[in-house]
Structure 1
Amino acid sequence: MARLVLPCKGAGLARTGLLGLVSSAPLQVTNRVSFLENSAKNIYRYRRFLTSEALCRRNCRFSYPSLSRAKQANRLICSVATESLKNPVEESKMDTPKEIFLKDYKRPDYYFDTVDLRFSLGEEKTIVSSKITVFPRIEGSSPPLVLDGHDIKLVSICVNGKELKEGEYLLDSRHLTLLSPPSGSFTLEIVNEIHPEKNTSLEGLYKSSGNFCTQCEAEGFRNITFYQDRPDIMAKYTCRIEADKSLYPVLLSNGNLIEQGDLEGGRHYALWEDPFKKPCYLFALVAGQLESRDDTFITRSGRKVSLRIWTPAQDVPKTAHAMYSLKAAMKWDEDVFGLEYDLDLFNIVAVPDFNMGAMENKSLNIFNSKLVLASPETATDADYAAILGVIGHEYFHNWTGNRVTCRDWFQLSLKEGLTVFRDQEFSSDLGSRTVKRIADVSKLRNYQFPQDAGPMAHPVRPHSYIKMDNFYTGKLFFT
């Protein structure tokens, strides 16, 4: 995953880089910004928190043959606010920072096997229905089941088809608790209402520039529906999306497209199925006015994979290099690591107002347009190199991060560090290994060393954290 990015003019030499995740500067930050860095081979991940609205441009001079250079277009992105809460007194108590310790990790009392989601997207509200197959970790036990949830209106909750009444569950601003679940496996059905059009946190499901989009890493899924929002809860997902066809002709989610069709009242639907278990932070949904560049890739076992890069219509001509980068990454991962793509379809969505740099959702990667679009008239060599690296990075997560994922968020550096190494090797093989190494060392000296000498210094795997977002620091990218 890569967080929000984008360059700004800074003193001295401009540097453009792609780091893997760079985050948390001062703890007292209010706005979140990530900058793009070209790390170890044209790709870096970025994630940083700064107090103002956008900062920093890095320009790593990359020798990338036969790509024209143009004046770099600097961009700026940011601002993350949160909607005011209805009960400030109650919420202030609930939001008091609580330190999370690695030593306190406990396995969940319940696991989820399958998750069937239904979204009815609307202009004033969205209805989310979930049907979850639940089973206890210890057969015969029935401790309370605690689900995470934030800014969600509960409509109904049923266990094995029977609607629960007040007194059989507890609901507060952060959790939904089933007090006495059945002692064996059971089906949990929840219907809730959310308001993506008012979601200014840009976590969970939100609406911007007429499109619905999701961002669930690290803890955004709890803004969509009630769930055990932790990476060690792995389940198989299906997702049915319903929306107005004229406003949202494209409906995307994880996995393979199983079915689609028209409904009454000018609406339509799409049903998606992801056959591989995944944690909820990898769930994704996109709905809007988009067009695609289409291509195919033949895997080494002979399977045909459909590739699509979705953007607003005017940006499709600028996606040729991104498609080349995706196919190059797929081939390289097969040749070097023996890892073949495991689904029939791979989608990339690039929109200008995605506040993370890029996200590796299973089979539906979502990017900020800056990391996908390029044309010889406006892009520099560094821009082309950055796109190659970031496209590769998010694709490589399909195995190192998605199919093989974290037990808890303290293991974030494992999936990110390994994937950064893979994208660095990819960029080195397709470009200049020497130039890439020089760029990486330069980033270490200019950013990692100052962090290690400052108040944000910490082990690669800290013993505790207060807010998960502050866990994404530069140290993750150079391990």
Structure 2
Amino acid sequence: MRDAQPSTIYLSEYQVPAYLIDTTALVFELGEESTKVSSQLHIRRNPASTISNAPLALHGTELELISLAIDGRTLDASEWTQSGEQLIIASVPAEFVLSCETRIRPQDNTSLEGLYKSSGMFCTQCEAEGFRKITYYLDRPDVMSVFTVEIIADAQRYPVLLSNGNLSAAEVLADGRHKTVWQDPFPKPAYLFALVAGKLACVEDRFKTMSGRDVALKIYVEDKDADKCEHAMVSLKNAMRWDEEVYGREYDLDIFNIVAVDDFNMGAMENKSLNIFNTSCVLAKPETTTDAGFQRVEGVVAHEYFHNWSGNRVTCRDWFQLSLKEGFTVFRDAEFSADMGSPTVKRVEDVTLLRTAQFAEDAGPMAHPIRPDSFIEISNFYTVTVYEKGAEVVRMIHTLLGPELFRKGSDLYFDRHDGQAVTCEDFVLAMEDASGVDLGQFRNWYSQAGTPKLKVSAEYDAAAQTYTLHVQQSCPATPGQSKKAPFHIPFAVALLGEAGQLALQLQNAALNTETADNTEMVLNVTKAEQSFIFTGIKEEPVPSLLRGFSAPVKLEFDYSREQLLRLMSSDSDGFCRWDASQQLGLAEISQALADIAAEHDVVPESAYLDACRALLSDESLDGAMVAMMLQLPSEAYLAEIFHPVDVLGLHRARETLRLVIAQALRGELLACYSRCASNAVYAADAGQIAQRSLKNTALSYLMLLNDDTGRELATRQFEHSENMTDRLAALNALVNSTAPYKAEALQRFYQNWQHEPLVINQWFQVQAMCRLPGTLETVQGLMAHPAFDIRNPNKVRALIGAFCGQNSVNFHREDGAGYRFLADQVIVLNRSNPQIASRLLVPLTKWRKYLPAAQQLMCAELQRILAQPDLSSDVYEVVSKSVQEYSEE
């Protein structure tokens, strides 16, 4: 057990910084054994601080201090002290220059925070608190400074030297080294600092902004990856144009750089003008990258670029406000991706993530509002709640205000706070001031955790021609919040009649609704119980509720099977059509559970099979949408519905039902597969992606039949496909079957792609997610494979993360071996990369959902981790909260 519990930081204790840093000058002398960092900081007392004569407390960790001086006078060791991660100088002038020299060892930095070395390249990751591993500094987001950076390194080993801003000077030195000088004219906090030095190829393009600025665009990668940058470059230019057209935001420097790094804890980082990316989020070509990979590159490139305004020019005051920049930017990148592809498919993908990962987080020991009240380790709050739920909160504001007023609000927000570090309250206030809409109650979304539930009932009065919706909202208790005030929930609805959507007239409409058109309304649910009465309704309608998933809530409405089939077949809202298919699938799985328990055959309702048959046969529909509707609710979603979760029982019921559907629709599935097969040159556009998605969904069903037809289709597709989407889908189908060819397919895949790390990550992932028994032993064996490296976060996520987080039937083995395996890996990674270790822990934190025997085994592993000496604060926070919840049961 730890000797000392890490301290908790509270939002309520925020104080403005006692000092500000107006300018920062850094000199890096990069070496093979160590790196010397020299800094000159122009510091002054903060006039907004009420603490007079405060000592100067700088952040720093894992630093070797060489010298320290104020205004040129070297400080005696008695003039400063060190305490934890702080260097404290008791007495300083009101304004002065602090000079500091430190020595660091990036080669030994396995945490991948601060300055570290990856594949022979120096690079940085400073968000959230990595800069303090570089030099002593006021490492907090509300201290913004103008940076000048000089980098000196061996010219042959590191011909490329990059930092933020514009290149102001470059020089070859006499000793075989060279240097560059970079100046960033825009004040930024230390977390946005970046440095890269290495031997890299550069792919270049240009972009002319709406005011005529000519911007150089450069993507730096290893030589072997230069042919995989075209999609990222096109995505960047599309994002720049979209941000001008939709938000009026123009790029503000002469150069924009992207660097791809293989060892990276995150997806990417929005450092001002020097975005550092995980290779998985920038490299793409058809032979090595799936459709999902292409879409991820497009979305992440856009996300990091959009941060230039929503995160960089206007940043967050403190880390409690993280969703200010992340939620807003995720919303922006989601809208961009929707415009670039299929809006409905994008929306369903986002909702699926919310309903599985985010709703589960809301129900667990780490539940927190999108603006947390406290934390021990900020790295643990880069969560689906802060990002995805944060984006939903912004989306709700967009829904309540409408696109024109929302744009007016965002313009005011950027203009009012350009160059400032601000709060979520500042964002909401700008929206209120620009629109005149009162968002007072809406602010509860920022301060309250948990997933609200809307329980809806309806009644139709034929004589009065009225249709009434009764709505009750509630929110379960979460850690530290036992009672919740009502939320302001935008609830989008329509009423379907025999001939289509009915015209809507609501009593007291001015008080209760925002109207999109006369057949759809957004009801303002603001009370614990409300009733909405629609008048002039001449027939009993089918309600289409929560259209577009207008709020991140759980909806309860007692739909009949006939109503769901009606919504699935004819609703104009794509989300509601998909959701109806999921509810019907859920009903079939529930029945399959009962049938198996009673030792009866599993026989789906004929109407459900007919609806699936119609989907397969209707060539006018979006193929990607059809593919999503044909897929039964995932096991991750089922774990959010059934309590307690019988993992093995649910898996068996779902797989049995899938087999019966495949048997019933064999002819239609074969016809669909044949219709979607194409020899067209690969394109990552919405049409082709939809076609491949539907084809591979059909293949996954056909492989369940365990006959020669499915095996031959999968084998032929694996051997002859020229794109990774189809090749990997075929490999996945083979690996999850008893086909004798699968061992050869795995070996051939590895031999063909062993020189491509990102492809081998997919090879690891396919095996880690195999549903067949014995997968844990396969994963354990693969950890000894030469291509696996536990120091590489991508490899860890592909093998360990995929098995523990996405293979529930094998992770939740009854003997608890899956839990022991995960705990073992967390203990190992805690010593080298605490961020990755804490993120891997998530499956164990969900222990409350499962059967009692599983709960005991999971919590025993949590307690074993907690008993380890020298736990990082990252791991300690997650595991201690989980164990505390178990102790309170």
TM-score grouping bracket, smaller chain normalisation: 0.7 to 0.9
Q: Deviations over 1:7-65 (max 9, x none)?
A: xxxxxxxxxxxxxxxxxxxxx9xxxxxxxxxxxxxxxxxxxxxxxxxxxxxxxxxxxxx
Match of 2:16 among 107, 110, 132: 107
Alignment-mate amino acid for residue 6 of structure 2: P
1:151 and 2:65 are equivalent in the alignment: no
Which of 273, 298, 309 in structure 1 is aligned with 2:219? Answer: 309
Q: Does structure 1 residue 171 correspond to structure 2 residue 79?
A: no
* 1:246 aligns with one of 156, 159, 162: 156
- Asked whether the equivalents of residues 254 and 273 of structure 1 are also in contact (C-alpha less than 8 Å), the reply is yes
1:33 counterpart residue number: none
Provide the residue aligned with 1:416 in structure 2.
326
The separation in 2 between residues aligned to 1:440 and 1:454, in whole angstroms, is: 20
Aligned match of 1:48: none
Determine the C-alpha separation between the residues in 2 that align with 1:234 and 1:453.
Answer: 37
2:534 maps to what in 1?
A: none
Aligned to 2:25: 116
- For 2:385, the equivalent position in structure 1 comes to 475
State the Cα distance separating 1:168 from its structure 2 match: 1.1
Q: Deviations over 1:449-473 (max 9, x none)?
A: 1221222222111211111111111
Any idea what the Cα deviations from partners look like across 1:271-321, whole Å, max 9, x if unmatched? Answer: 000000000000000000101100000001001000000000110110000
Partner of 1:230: 140
Higher RCO (CA < 8 A, seq sep 6+): 1
Give unpaired runs (5+ residues) of structure 2. 391-889
Amino acid corresponding to residue 340 of structure 1 in structure 2: E
Alignment TM-score, normalising by the size of structure 1: 0.79
Deviation at 1:441, TM superposition (A): 1.2
The residue type paired with residue 204 of structure 1 is G
Q: How far apart, CA to CA, are the structure 2 residues paired with 1:315 and 1:296?
A: 20
Q: Deviations over 1:408-429 (max 9, x none)?
A: 0000011100000000110011
CA–CA distance in structure 2, aligned partners of residues 343 and 158 of structure 1:
34
Once residues 180 and 117 of structure 1 are traced to their aligned partners in structure 2, the CA distance between those partners, rounded to angstroms, is 24
Pairwise CA distance, 1:327:
0.4
TM-score, length basis structure 2: 0.43
- Alpha-carbon distance between aligned partners in 2 of 1:99 and 1:351, rounded to the nearest angstrom: 33
If each structure's helix is expressed as a fraction of its own residues, which one has the higher value? 2
Opposite residue 377 of structure 1, the aligned amino acid is E
Report the equivalent of 2:36: 127
Q: Is the 8 A contact 1:151 1:173 kept in 2?
A: no
**Where do 5+ consecutive residues of structure 1 fail to align?**
1-27, 29-91
SS of residue paired to 1:103: helix
CA distance in 1, matches of 2:137, 2:187: 15
For residue 281 of structure 1, what is the amino acid of its counterpart? Answer: Y
* Higher radius of gyration, 1 or 2: 2
Q: Take 1:382 and 1:469, find their aligned partners in 2: how far apart are those partners?
A: 26
Tell me which of 312, 319, 322 is aligned to 2:229: 319
Cα drift, residue 96 of structure 1 = 3.9
2:253 equivalent to 1:338: no
Q: What is aligned with 2:716?
A: none
Q: What's the counterpart of residue 53 of structure 2?
A: 142
Query: What code does the residue aligned with 1:420 have?
Result: V
1:20 match: none
Residue among 175, 183, 189 paired with 1:273 = 183
Q: How far 1:141 moved relative to its partner?
A: 4.3
Give the whole-Å Cα distance in 1 for the aligned partners of 2:27 and 2:175: 18
The equivalent residue for 2:313 is 403
How far off its partner does 1:264 sit?
1.8
Q: For 2:199 and 2:158, how far apart are their aligned partners in 1?
A: 6
* 2:118–2:262 Cα contact (<8 Å) kept: no
Amino acid at match of 2:361: Q
Residue 131 of structure 2 aligns to which amino acid in structure 1?
F
The offset of 1:173, in angstroms, is 4.6
Count of paired positions? 387
Range 130-139 or range 333-342, more displaced:
130-139
Q: 1:181 aligns with which of 85, 92, 98?
A: 92
Q: In the alignment, which of 459, 464, 467 is matched to residue 374 of structure 2?
A: 464
CA distance in 2, matches of 1:353, 1:271: 26
Q: Which runs of 4+ in 1 moved over 6 A?
A: none
- CA drift of 1:378 comes to 2.1
Query: Residue 78 of structure 2 aligns to a residue in which SS?
Result: coil
- 2:5, 2:35 → 1: CA distance? 29
Alignment-mate amino acid for residue 366 of structure 2: M
Where 1:156 maps in the other structure, the secondary structure is strand
Q: CA deviation at 1:169?
A: 1.1
Q: CA RMSD in A?
A: 1.5
The answer to whether the Cα contact below 8 Å between 1:255 and 1:363 also exists between their aligned partners in 2 is yes
Q: Which whole-Å CA distance do the structure 2 matches of 1:124 and 1:229 have between them?
A: 26
Match of 2:362? 452
Q: Partners of 1:156 and 1:126 in 2: how far apart? A: 15
Q: Which amino acid counterpart does residue 338 of structure 1 have in structure 2?
A: G
The equivalent residue for 2:637 is none
